[in-house]
Amino acid sequence: MRPIRLVILLLILSACTGHQDADDFDLVKLKEAVAQLFDAPTNENHIEKQWWPSAIKELNPETIMKSEKGVYIRLDSFFVEESGLFIPLPGTTIEPGVHSGPSYMLLGEGIYSYYVTG
């Protein structure tokens, strides 16, 4: 029985989300594509796949949402955890670091990794 428990534990731990790594993305290409998302229509804050630029589709996001602060591209989620990319609307100030709610980490080109748990 112990090997089965160990395998299950390893699967659970490997499924945990966290901040994204800048090296995994072409940030210049993404910055150009994101401008199209700011103007895309929403359905209850969700941007439907038909409006996703090809550079964004290549990321295979779970969902894309637009808020009053910017655009959230959810790339990974597991139970109550979620992570992805956040692009603030022009003029929006983001304070990187760990806080209640999403924590943000600047990757570059005005693109942040976000992580939410709870």
Phi-psi region of 110 (alpha: psi -120 to 50; beta: other; left: phi over 0): left
In a domain, 5, yes or no: no
> What's the number of domains the chain is made of?
1
In a domain, 12, yes or no: no
Angle at 60 between CA 64 and CA 75, to 5 degrees: 55
pLDDT of residue 99: 58
In a domain, 68, yes or no: yes
Of 117 and 13, more confident:
117
pTM for the complete prediction?
0.79
In a domain, 41, yes or no: yes
| Of residues 3, 12, 66, the one with CA closest to residue 37 | 66
pLDDT of residue 19: 65
Tell me the pLDDT tens digit for each residue of 74-93: 999 888 889 999 999 988 88
Instruction: Share the mean pLDDT of the chain.
Output: 81
